[in-house]
Chains A and B, each alone.
Chain A
Amino acid sequence: MRRQGVSQEQADFAEFYQGARDDCLRTVLATVRDVDKAQDLVAEAFARAWASWRKVSRHPAPRAWVVRTALNLSVSSWRRHRRELPLTGHDAPAYGPAPSRVDAELAAVLQRLPARQRQVVALRIFLDLDTAHTAEVLGIAPGTVTAHLTRALTTLRTELAAHQSEGDRS
């Protein structure tokens, strides 16, 4: 009986993972900028979601829970790593750096946005979160979310339009 419950839980989690993993990765990637690091953070966040699946599955926005966890991990990882000295002589990853798969121009524009604006854009665009949930994930007021989103979209629109007109002229 208990085994059946566990396998149903795992099936539910598997379905959640398959459906949410890419969007969560894209959201975190927009913030941390490094594909490998984003994968690590999101993988750990999903592992924690599975470890607490009974709680997370009842969360109103489980994807947002995963992204929030990944972003928290990113902050604590950065706090630890800034005290470290790089040492050589250890095994490098076998798969090497990830190829650039994001449109370079757009990525550059996105990365120039302030961190908070990037986070808001990522949560709204990739996770389709509404203002209230975005505010909850980021721990800011809904009005602040709206302001960040408006500014971010204005910047993106202006810069993309400029790139387009440059492309048209050349």
Chain B
Amino acid sequence: MNDPDVITAVKASYAEIHMDVPLDVIVRRGRRLRAQRRLPGLAGAAGTVTALALAVAALVPGSGGARAPGNGTGTGRLAAWTVVSQQDGGVRVALRGAYVRDVAGLQDKLRSDGIPARVARIGYLRPPLNVPGCHVFGDGPGGTSYSLWRKIFYGPHTGPQSIHAFWVYRSAIPHGLGVLVDIYYDGTFGLYLVKASPQCTGTEPSLGTGDSAGS
């Protein structure tokens, strides 16, 4: 067996390996990265200060209040996520990098705040179409509009907050819809709209809104 034979054999053995992530998922993620780069430096600095404040608060026992630190894996560990109700009616969710494992805890917290939510770790940039029990809307034909998506996840803001934090404006969520938060391995996330259902969002389709529940 000579070198070209070896090379041919190696190539042939990987011939059935194919990348199955659709182009539009890549492009969407790339756009998000571009948008994050455009955030003004001042906003970035303010975000860092806020994140530090949240992280420190999460380390201090009894500092909960409106905050709900997740991933209670013991002392000395920063919270994996914080959920903070805002005065403008939105909820701000901050994730802390790759420590976000307690997705069930975050999901429970969002639901208790009246948000029909599903939180999952589907896998980085996977099309989140196969979330068990969920019907995920795309943004193309048959999907939901981008303006609705913006109302729910941006509210009065003009763009994303950071790669590790987002808002949810529950009053903008129409009846029958819910939100899917797909947390990637590095603590960033994807935000999608889903059909509300007991299996997916823990809510009845006709009751999928809510300023009513939670704190």
Q: Which of A's residues lie within 8 Å of B, judged by CB?
A: 10, 13-14, 17-18, 21-22, 24-26, 29-30, 35-36, 39-44, 46-51, 53, 73, 77, 80-81, 84-87, 89-91, 93-95, 101-103, 106-107, 110, 121, 125-126, 153, 156-157, 160-161, 164
Minimal Cβ-Cβ distance residue in A for B187: A80
Interface mask (B1-34 → A, CB under 8 Å = 1, otherwise 0) = 1110111011111101111110101110111011
Is residue B73 within 8 Å, beta carbon to beta carbon, of the partner chain? yes
Rounded to whole angstroms, the CA-CA distance of A41 and B211 in the bound complex is 39
Chain A residues within 8 Å of B5, by CB: 157
Minimal Cβ-Cβ distance residue in A for B186: A77
Name the segment of B59-67, B82-90, B126-134, B166-174 touching the other chain: B126-134
Chain A residues within 8 Å of B185, by CB: 40, 77, 81
| Complex contact B27–A44 (CB within 8 A) | no
Chain B residues within 8 Å of A25, by CB: 17-19
Minimal Cβ-Cβ distance residue in B for A21: B19
Chain B residues within 8 Å of A157, by CB: 1-3, 5-6
| Complex contact B123–A93 (CB within 8 A) | yes
Min CB distance B183 to A, Å, is 9
Name the segment of B39-47, B94-102, B138-146, B153-161 touching the other chain: B94-102
**Chain B interface residue number, banded:** 35 or more
| Complex contact B10–A17 (CB within 8 A) | no
Rounded to whole angstroms, the CA-CA distance of A84 and B16 in the bound complex is 33
Q: Which of B's residues lie within 8 Å of A, judged by CB?
A: 1-3, 5-7, 9-14, 16-21, 23, 25-27, 29-31, 33-34, 37, 71, 73, 97-99, 101-104, 119-126, 130-132, 184-186
Chain A residues within 8 Å of B26, by CB: 17, 43, 46-47, 50
Rounded to whole angstroms, the CA-CA distance of A86 and B71 in the bound complex is 11
Min CB distance A42 to B, Å, is 6
Rounded to whole angstroms, the CA-CA distance of A51 and B98 in the bound complex is 22
Chain B residues within 8 Å of A24, by CB: 19
Listed from nearest, the 4 A-B pairs whose CB atoms lie closest are: A50-B30, A103-B13, A40-B124, A94-B130
Chain B residues within 8 Å of A164, by CB: 1
Minimal Cβ-Cβ distance residue in B for A106: B13
| Complex contact B7–A125 (CB within 8 A) | yes
| Complex contact B101–A87 (CB within 8 A) | yes
Min CB distance A6 to B, Å, is 10
Rounded to whole angstroms, the CA-CA distance of A156 and B9 in the bound complex is 10
Chain A residues within 8 Å of B13, by CB: 102-103, 106-107
Rounded to whole angstroms, the CA-CA distance of A153 and B7 in the bound complex is 8
| Complex contact A89–B104 (CB within 8 A) | yes
| Complex contact A160–B16 (CB within 8 A) | no
Would you list 15 pairs from A and B whose C-beta atoms are within 8 A, ordered by A residue?
Answer: A21-B21, A26-B14, A35-B17, A39-B125, A77-B98, A81-B185, A87-B71, A87-B101, A91-B120, A91-B132, A94-B132, A101-B16, A102-B17, A106-B13, A153-B3
Q: Which of B9, B122, B130 contacts A160 (CB 8 A)?
A: B9
